[in-house]
Structure 1
Amino acid sequence: MTEAFTAAGFRISVISEPPFVPEAREVFPEKFREIELTRTRFLSFLFFVLEAN
């Protein structure tokens, strides 16, 4: 993804991965138990701030 941005002529100025909201634990309790046991990551999003070169 980052290579595609730079190949298109953008410079990445910020990459942000916000934490999950606490309410997600109530909505997906089984997933969070699995995460705690396996130490895997929960589905999350990355946000990019791009600047034209």
Structure 2
Amino acid sequence: MSTTVETRSERSAAEVNEEIRALWFRSGGTLSVEQREEYQRLVLEWAAAPQPGEAA
């Protein structure tokens, strides 16, 4: 699995953060291997997403 972010996210950081929160909620606080992979992908997307006050 690649850990590099190739392009900027089309979703805002807030949108990605909401998905991260939902993942943790659904997992009950303990992530499976598959959920950890999804979490890692989401964190990378969040880091590449436009942050509040940042020009897209």
- What's the TM-score, normalizing by structure 2? 0.21
- Structure with more of its chain in strand, by fraction: 1
Greater C-alpha Rg:
1
- Structure with more of its chain in helix, by fraction: 2
